[in-house]
Structure 1
Amino acid sequence: MMFSQPAAQLTRRHLIFPLSLVLFELVTYLAHDMIQPGMLLVTAEFRVGPEWVSTSLTAYLAGGILLQWLLGPLSDRIGRRPVMLCGAAFFMLSCVATHWVESIQQFVLLRFMQGISLCFIGAVGYATVQEAFTESLSIKMMALMANVALLAPLAGPLAGAAFLAVGEWRTLFWLFGALTALALAGLWYAMPETAGDRQKSLSLRSILSGYAALLRDRQVTGGSLAIGLVTVPCLAWVALSPVILIQDAGLSRISYALLQLPVFAAMIAGNLTLGRLSGRLPIEQPIRLGIGPVIAGLAIAATATLVDPHSYGWLTAGLSLYGFGTGLVSAGLYRMTLFSSQAGKGSVAAMLGMVSILVIALGIEATKAAYFRYGNGGFSLINLFCGLLWLGLVIAFLRESQRRR
């Protein structure tokens, strides 16, 4: 069904679409977070070192960059719906194929292929939500969808640890494939068509010129960089916490999983707060409110680990405060960046996704290098550096937004 005007209220069919989309997103995250407690089992089976634990996530994020440049303009031309359905089907098949990997290289290759699913979520799925619903409703929905997606890092490590106590890591990927099939059915039934202009050119020259114009747009570039930077500490923690807590600190998988809870519970609290504020305050205000918790949390974590590298409680507390701030700022910053340009929203979402995921991947590699060289203090300092860069970008972004209005 084609939406001619953004919906201001939810019907049952309206609701099935974001629920199916967030289920697909949830599974793409679970495909990483549930396997994280078992990544040391994977590296042991393939007889490689612990550095491959974070390489798995880096490969996953690299896959998330691969097709962004094409999917945005493609969905602007042929429509969001067929592109999204193909993406969900591809992810389902790549999960099932993981059962037969025989080396760490094959495993990482399939992780890269599974990461391509991130292209569809950002460039196609989120763009559809923003187009199909009004600003206030879309921000509320994005905040609530983020809460569901956060169940992956919140419950994923604990669920993965429990599953691995009775099952094999390969069996997990059959579960991911089955859940994706359910999401695919819901998307096929309820996903609206909000785009599709056969007059848009898909030539390489027109695509590149469109992205060049977006790169010159300070709001699109600045917002995209900011979204990536504010996400780095979260995903760096997801990527490296098994090494930090299980291998080096000697904690059990269950204890490791429990230490994830306050960080992601705080993010959910931030998203719920944003949902309450949406429609009551200007879109910029929650972003301003989130600045303090983000910077203060990262500063607490850095200070604590520099004083005592084994202060895991303070590290978790600082990241939790940061997580609350991130929950406040993310959805509004995404919306403002997406609508800061008159270009097709698929193309803008693709640019946003490519830039932010590239920043996240580089950030994870930087935190990985800092951790293996300088320990927890180096890990936290890189996170704080990303937070301070984000702060500068957000201040400039909000000023430019106010100037344009």
Structure 2
Amino acid sequence: MNKAHPRISLLFPLALVLFEFAVYICNDMVQPAMLAVTREFAVDVSWAPLSMTAFLAGGALLPWLTGPLSDRIGRRPVLLFGVAWFTLACLATYLVDDIESFMALRVLQGVGLCFINAVGYAAVQEAFPENTAVRVTALMANVALIAPLAGPLAGATLIEFAPWRLGFAMIAAVSFIALIGLACFMPETVKPSHDKLPLSAFARDYRKVFTNRRFVLSALCIPLIAMPLMGWIALSPVLLIEDLGLTSFEYGVLQVPVFGGLILGNLVLAAVAERWPLGRSALLARGPVALGVAVLLGGVLFSDAPQYWMAGGMTLMAFAEGMAFGVLYRFALTSCDEGKGTVSAAMSMLCMGAYALGIETLRWAYRAGGLAGFGALALGYALAFALLASRMVPLAMAARAEPAPQPEAAEGELALCAEQG
């Protein structure tokens, strides 16, 4: 770990999480404003969920480059470039005048996601010991989750009193503050090699990672547990405002318990990370996931006010995600021996691609079967997570429980072999 003063070391994850907050709120604050965007550009409301899909697609574009690049030239320069890129992409919103340009810009803004996990979180994992890294990650997630907690309500309130473009200017300001903080306090956690970056080397490294079955299955646990919540973020403006007739303010209020559950789950993980065996919280998360899907489907099928049951079910699933995410991320990151930038980038690409595909399938299920279709597919994703986690998490826990070979014992065995020889 960097030898800087501990307070300075902690200012690095604080600055990183401020950037993460800006990127996330760029999605969560914009979703309630999408109805105003579609009205301004005179297009159908069905464009609204596509904003989130475009944003996540941007997040899947460049991790293949940012991760390995940071392995070779250092984490600092790559992350600082990414923060500056995102800041300018937010300001560029004032230049768009049609829905196609807006969606293209959403892709460019989504590229900011490529620098959070593939570079920033890799640096955090390298800067702290394992259990501490999980705890720091969980605490960082709590700060970052203020974005989805406050974003919908802030976006809904902003659109009542100001132009929707002002929100992007505010996000750019937050991102710029994060840029200053990272420039001042981010340590360099890898020794830059400045080797050439041949595409053949990239292909070889990624082939090793993506053909590692343990990595792929471990990494897939993350989007599977998060998919219902991601679909809720993308589709709830249509579900709650257009279909169920709620106001923008009522829509924002219903997001509070959902993301409050996510924050509570992260607080639980931070509290137990150094006391429980790493992985237990991820296994326990299967319970709230199952209960949450049952509450959601029961409300959709049998209640005259399904919005409250849906929010309750999503709250339970969000709590489970908070308990599991930091552990699942660590397990996937340490499942390969390749550079952590490359592994983290592979994980980011897999997750972002899965999120974009999952949101589109949930949108299709909703259009085909209404709220029941959405709930049924959410059940499928929850079951897939429970089955996969039941297999992969115990394997990762068992690998950590194996005692490391003792140097003295190994030397004794070698000496005995030499005498016998």
TM range (shorter): over 0.9
* Residues 277 and 397 in structure 2, CA contact (< 8 A), matched pair in contact too: no
Q: Percent identity?
A: 44
Q: What is aligned with 2:97?
A: 102
Query: Structure 1 residue 357: deviation in Å?
Result: 1.0
Q: What is aligned with 1:271?
A: 266
Q: What is aligned with 1:78?
A: 73
Q: What is aligned with 1:42?
A: 37
Residue number among 370, 374, 385 corresponding to 1:375 in the alignment:
370
Counterparts of 1:272 and 1:312, CA distance in 2? 26
Over residues 33-69 of structure 1, what are the superposed CA-to-partner deviations in whole Å (9 max), with x where a residue is unaligned? Answer: 1122211000011111121111000000000010011
Query: Structure 1 residue 202: deviation in Å?
Result: 2.0
Structure 1 segment 139-178 matched on structure 2, within 5 A? 139-178=134-173
Partner SS for 1:13: helix
Counterparts of 2:349 and 2:60, CA distance in 1? 5
Q: What is aligned with 1:389?
A: 384
**Residue range with higher mean Cα deviation, 110-119 or 209-218:** 209-218
Counterparts of 2:396 and 2:135, CA distance in 1? 21
Q: What is aligned with 1:282?
A: 277
Counterparts of 1:367 and 1:394, CA distance in 2? 22
* Residues 309 and 377 in structure 1, CA contact (< 8 A), matched pair in contact too: no
- 2:309 counterpart of 1:314: yes
Q: What is aligned with 2:407?
A: none
Query: Structure 1 residue 369: deviation in Å?
Result: 0.8
Pair 1:385–1:73, CA change in 2 (3 A): same
- 2:325 counterpart of 1:330: yes
Letter matched to residue 220 of structure 2: L
Counterparts of 2:324 and 2:394, CA distance in 1? 16
Query: Structure 1 residue 294: deviation in Å?
Result: 1.4
Q: What is aligned with 1:202?
A: 197
* Residues 333 and 344 in structure 2, CA contact (< 8 A), matched pair in contact too: yes
Gaps of 5+ in 1: none
* Residues 75 and 196 in structure 1, CA contact (< 8 A), matched pair in contact too: no
Partner SS for 1:102: coil
- 2:77 counterpart of 1:54: no
Over residues 306-337 of structure 1, what are the superposed CA-to-partner deviations in whole Å (9 max), with x where a residue is unaligned? Answer: 33475111111111111111110000110111
Query: Structure 1 residue 384: deviation in Å?
Result: 1.2
Query: Structure 1 residue 397: deviation in Å?
Result: 1.0
Residue number among 183, 188, 194 corresponding to 2:183 in the alignment:
188
Letter matched to residue 384 of structure 1: L
* Residues 9 and 185 in structure 2, CA contact (< 8 A), matched pair in contact too: yes
Counterparts of 1:166 and 1:399, CA distance in 2? 51
Counterparts of 1:335 and 1:392, CA distance in 2? 19
* Residues 219 and 400 in structure 1, CA contact (< 8 A), matched pair in contact too: no
* Residues 309 and 375 in structure 1, CA contact (< 8 A), matched pair in contact too: no
TM-score (norm 1): 0.96
Gaps of 5+ in 2: 403-421
Letter matched to residue 82 of structure 1: P
Counterparts of 2:118 and 2:56, CA distance in 1? 14
Letter matched to residue 258 of structure 1: V
Residue number among 219, 223, 227 corresponding to 1:228 in the alignment:
223
Q: What is aligned with 1:137?
A: 132
Residue number among 241, 247, 250 corresponding to 1:255 in the alignment:
250
Q: What is aligned with 1:344?
A: 339
Query: Structure 1 residue 220: deviation in Å?
Result: 1.1
Residue number among 285, 288, 291 corresponding to 2:286 in the alignment:
291
Instruction: Note the aligned Cα RMSD (angstroms).
Output: 1.5
Counterparts of 2:358 and 2:157, CA distance in 1? 30
Query: Structure 1 residue 4: deviation in Å?
Result: 5.6
Query: Structure 1 residue 199: deviation in Å?
Result: 6.7
Query: Structure 1 residue 196: deviation in Å?
Result: 3.5
Over alpha carbons, which structure has the higher Rg? Answer: 2
Query: Structure 1 residue 375: deviation in Å?
Result: 0.9
Q: What is aligned with 2:8?
A: 13
Letter matched to residue 278 of structure 2: I
* Residues 89 and 109 in structure 2, CA contact (< 8 A), matched pair in contact too: yes
